[in-house]
Structure 1
Amino acid sequence: MMQEVAENIWIEERPLKFHGLPFGTRMTVVKLTDGSLFVHSPVALTTKLKTEIHKLGDVAHIISPNKLHHLYMGEWQTAYPAAKIYASPGLRKKRRDLKFSDDLTDTPDPAWADDLDQLIFGGSFVMKEVVFFHRASRTLLIADLMEYFCSDTPFLLRQLTRLAGMYGRPIMPPDWRMTFWRRKTARTALARMLSWHPEQIILAHGKMIESEGEETLRRSFSWLTS
């Protein structure tokens, strides 16, 4: 069942295996000022979920925040043909089967500019991620830039995150962190994220950050500024 985590923001959590590990993922749905729905990192679309979504409003925008969070875009496009779907950097080439309406940039689309800000977090030679910020609730939407695994994490993943130095703290996965060769670009994006003064951070994987989001960002990305 979808959970409301702030005014006009809901999440749907699902089990997900990644390389055989019970990883888990989280979709975010934002109700915009015009009443339409903005869907961030969509999960598998079930009949139950469609019913819940219908009660919230009409799906207008379907977002892939990076080129890994695209698995269910096709079924959402089929279910909501009037909705626009947006490509994160690199996704058009990866998913030629999808009919994208536009590409995500550093500038919010006019359709959601009154509610959400956004930026492209670059600096890695592997992948860029588009980060969104809901102004009214001071909520930051992040996919893979940070993950937070703690006591409620499945046993095997808990042990692996301990070995990787990720357990018990929100942090970027170390394999992705090593690809950030253009750190000035990443620092510029981080500074802009901090200027939003987020309070809550919704992550796609692991535990959400429910308070002190700005300070959490500073700690999690201290490797960029040290």
Structure 2
Amino acid sequence: MTAPPLQTFGPEIWTADGPQTEVVGFRYPTRMAVIRLGDGGLFVWSPVALSDGLKAQVDALGEVRHVIAPNALHHLFLEDWRRAYPAARLHAALGLAAKRGDLAFDGELTDAPPAAWAADLDQTPVRGCAITTEVVFFHRASRTVLFTDLIQQFPPGWFSGWRALVARLDLMTQPEPAVPRKFRVSFTDRRAARADLDRILSWPAEQVLMAHGAPVLADGRAFIERAFRWLKG
């Protein structure tokens, strides 16, 4: 497997695009982020498939201490990272530990960042969604908000045939990254979601990184407000 190159995304944050995965017949690109914390340890968000080349690039940045599964959908490659970095702590979003009983998680992500990364990142779960409770992060040094699946965008021509129609109806191919329709209708507790969104909007975001979509490199807070306008209405 060819190593996806780590790319600098901002101060102390790098990204790598991994191989595609398939979910119910739909191809998804994969993307991870590596953040170097103030103590020199590495925080690995939504890890992609691990190759020898990618491992070498990550190891050159520092010691992997935290591996993050930010929702219950992004777990395909956790076992490989656990095996490669047995001393790292594996952190799971709500619901994933029950789904992956074969993995020993070290902690569940809450609305308060643990001391290990509280100086570098803030976080909040976005509650009220029946599909998954996604934990959204804010990296202070790069002023980057990290979404996993709640915001997505696929380029023109990515899907074909009936899949292209489904993707269009699901708002996955909008001109600007958007919250897919399936997520919008699955919010059964919008009051809770709005409270979590208010916290996200309190962050001085400039950039937005997502697992499936082109990053937003400027005016991140305004972009997030547009993407969730439907929730505030």
TM-score, normalization by structure 2? 0.92
Farther-moved stretch of structure 1 (53-62 vs 158-167): 158-167
Partner Cα distance (1:72, 1:127) in 2: 18
Question: Is this contact kept in 2: 1:10–1:30, CA < 8 A?
Answer: yes
Displacement, 1:155? 4.3
How many angstroms apart in 1 are the aligned matches of 2:75 and 2:169? 28
Q: Structure 1: which amino acid aligns with 2:167?
A: T
2:228 is aligned with 1:224: no
Task: Show the counterpart of 1:17.
Answer: 22
Distance in 2 separating the partners of 1:56 and 1:16: 26
> In the TM superposition, what are the counterparts of 1:45-56 in structure 2 within 5 Å?
45-56=50-61
Could you say what secondary structure the match of 1:110 adopts?
Answer: coil
The unaligned stretches of length 5 or more in structure 2 are none
**Mapping 1:32-181, distance limit 5 Å:** 32-151=37-156, 154-156=158-160, 160-167=166-173, 168-181=175-188
1:209 paired with 2:216, answer yes
Aligned to 2:186, the other structure's residue is in SS state coil
Deviation at 1:16, TM superposition (A): 2.3
Report the alpha carbon displacement of residue 158 of structure 1 after superposing the two structures with TM.
Answer: 5.5
Alpha-carbon distance, 1:211 to partner: 1.2
Report how far residue 124 of structure 1 moved: 1.4
The Cα shift of 1:40 comes to 0.4
Which runs of at least 4 in structure 1 moved beyond 4 Å after TM superposition?
A: 157-160
SS in 2 for 1:150: coil
Aligned to 2:195: 188
Question: What is the CA–CA distance in structure 2 between the aligned matches of 1:58 and 1:34, rounded to whole Å?
Answer: 10
Deviations 1:53-107 (A, max 9, x none): 1111110000000000111111101110110001110011001111111111000
CA contact (8 A) 1:27 1:39 kept: yes
* CA deviation string 1:6-57 (max 9, x = no partner): 0110111122222222210110110000111000001111011011011111
Partner of 1:118, secondary structure, is strand
Displacement of 1:159 in angstroms is 5.3
Inter-partner Cα distance in structure 2 for 1:30 and 1:158: 34
- Alignment RMSD: 1.4
* Structure 1 position 169, deviation (Å): 1.9
Q: Give ranges in structure 1 of 5+ residues lacking alignment.
A: none
Q: Distance in 2 between matches of 1:188 and 1:203?
A: 21
Equivalenced residue count is: 225
Q: Report the Cα distance in structure 2 between the residues aligned to 1:106 and 1:155, rounded to whole angstroms.
A: 36
Tell me if structure 1 keeps the 8 A contact 2:66–2:90.
yes
Shift of 1:166: 3.2
Compute the displacement of 1:154 (Å): 2.0
